[in-house]
Amino acid sequence: MVKISVIIPLYNVENFIEETLNSLLNQTIIDDIEVLMIDDGSTDNSRYIIEKYALDYDNFYAFHKENEGQGVARNFGLKKAKG
């Protein structure tokens, strides 16, 4: 059962996103969380990086949408959250 939802809106952060996601993987409560990665229309490799994590980990989910800003991306994630 998911207790905590971590929503990560992202846009063109290919140089930083893996460090963020690996940090989440190192948490002791990793089995109780879901990680919602919301790509807000990135034009770099961010979209491919989050797809890899979504394929490798059952509780990581990648979503892609048009660029509408961080707030809209975060609200998108809130609608998908189960925690």
For 72, list phi and psi in degrees, rounded to 5: -65, -40
What pLDDT is recorded for position 71? 95
Strand partners, 33: 4
> Taking Cα atoms as reference points, which of 52, 49, 57 lies closest to residue 27?
57
What pLDDT is recorded for position 55? 98
Task: Evaluate whether 50 touches 39 at the Cβ level (below 8 Å).
Answer: yes
DSSP 3: -
Residues of the chain with pLDDT under 70: none
- Tell me the pTM: 0.94
What pLDDT is recorded for position 1? 78
